[in-house]
Amino acid sequence: MQTCLSRRGVFGGHAAGRRAAVIVRAEAIAVPAPFAKVEAKGDRVLVRVAEEEVKTRGGILLPPSSIRKPTSGEVVGLGDGRVNGEVRPFFLQLGQTVVYSKFGFMYTDLKLSTGEEYILIRENDIIGIMPHPVAE
């Protein structure tokens, strides 16, 4: 869900000499309860988002305001590799832990009724691969 507002209302014009303020809010798409599985298509990769860290390595509990959204996860599904009629092989493999940008706009957040969070992202938008899993 995205909401765009300016100083003059929803999608209103802007006054001369002023810059319109735009607020954008994106939320995860909630997958309805009967559906328990999502499959990636094309060059998309389905990534299970890593758990948020709620305490430090030293055991100190973090307040909710300082908990950051994870930017890594485990690859749990690959599309068929079709892009514009061509089939391209994936460089990623199932089970690999990947890092992605939380500021990207080419991914879709998904939240299953079980509470698990996933993202659908293009393989080209993956920033890197981690040597060992951290998405558990």
56 with 3, same domain? no
State the Rg of the chain over Cα.
18
Range(s) of the domain holding residue 1: 1-27
How much is the pLDDT for 96? 92
2 with 52, same domain? no
How much is the pLDDT for 6? 42
- The CA-CA-CA angle for residues 128, 130, 134, to 5°, reads 125
Domain count, the chain: 2
CATH code of the domain covering residue 86: 2.30.33.40
Matching residue, tokens 């514009």: 84
pLDDT in tens, 87-105: 888 888 999 999 988 776 6
Q: Is the pLDDT of residue 136 over 90?
A: no
119 with 52, same domain? yes
The rounded distance, in Å, linking the Cα atoms of 76 and 134 is 14
The separation between CA 89 and the C-alpha centre of its own chain, rounded to angstroms, equals: 22
**In a 10 Å sphere around its CB, with 0-12 CB exposed, 13-18 middle and 19+ buried, how is residue 36 labelled?**
exposed
pLDDT in tens, 4-62: 444 444 445 555 555 665 554 455 677 777 777 788 888 899 999 888 777 777 888 87
